[in-house]
Amino acid sequence: MTTERPRPLVAGNWKMNGTRAATETFSAILEGYDAGLRSKVDLLVCPPATLIYLFAVAAVGTPVKVGGQDCHAATHGAHTGDISAAMLADVGASYVIVGHSERRTDHGETDEMVKAKARAAITAGLTPIVCVGETREERDAGRALAVVGAQLAGSMPEEAARAPVVVAYEPVWAIGTGLTPTVVDVAEMHGFIRQSLVDRFGAAGRNMRLLYGGSVKPGNARELLGVAEVDGALVGGASLVAEDFLAIARAYMA
Ligand SMILES: O=C(CO)[C@H](O)COP(=O)(O)O
């Protein structure tokens, strides 16, 4: 069994931001991802679906990956407005975020639905990034570990034992608020998530990347990314500015 740490991944979730003009930002990310950074950390950008193809074409010949922000659990059919995992793969995506708290809240996505989406992603050859995280009320009630444990149990597909899957811990109260948990709380949660994954998936659970997300900025990246069992970041707002996104990745250049 290998005890080597997974290679870090810094992923940007652009959410519903960006038109074709944002290709300029993406190009700046591609240009700034120099040999030093490449040797230390993987980069992924998940733009709105309308930009995936454009970005994937721009990224050809570079190691930067492009991903989707959601997918439907079905391969095709009468699902107006939805996009399947195979469609994302077809336009050049290699990852897809599933179960983001904004999807869970805005679209009523349950753990069961998230699991089905993650499974569909794996079947299409994508790496799903399964998001989990507690609300402020749940943390204040001392239920953070229980809530995240239940989300993990319900959202992670059995296929994670043999296919690459990334887990992102994103405390809901830290998303877009500028608030972050203490490093002690992040360490406790990531240690708990790691143990849960090892208990369920064995060696695959030990090697899975665990990202932290929620108000990651250039100013706090080094501290947050230095926590044990944090294998990278899922970055929202700061990923919309090339220099900030790259500065977060440079936390690994220490
Ligand atoms: O999705 C997120 C990062 O990808 C998450 O919602 C955090 O957003 P941020 O607080 O704006 O970084």
ipTM for the assembly: 0.94
Neighbours of 183 (CB within 10 A): 15
Atom nearest to 237 CA in ligand 1: 11
Q: Is the CB of 175 under 6 A from ligand 1?
A: yes
The 10s digit of each residue's pLDDT in 130-150 is 999 999 999 999 999 999 999
pLDDT digits (tens, 9 = 90+) for 227-252: 999 999 999 999 999 999 999 999 99
Query: Is 15 annotated as ligand-binding?
Result: yes
Catalytic position from the list 102, 134, 159, 170: 170
Is this model's pTM higher than 0.90 or not? yes
Long-range CB contact pairs, 25-32, < 8 A, 24+? 25/240, 25/241, 25/242, 26/51, 26/55, 26/58, 26/59, 26/242, 27/58, 28/242, 28/243, 29/64, 29/242, 29/245, 29/246, 30/58, 30/59, 30/62, 30/64, 32/242, 32/243, 32/246
Mutation choice for ligand 1 from 130, 135, 170, 172, CB with most ligand atoms inside 8 A: 170
Measured in angstroms, how far is the CA atom of residue 1 from the centroid of ligand 1?
A: 33
Q: Does domain 9-252 have CATH number 3.40.50.300?
A: no
Domain ranges for the chain: 9-252
Catalytic residue check, 100: yes
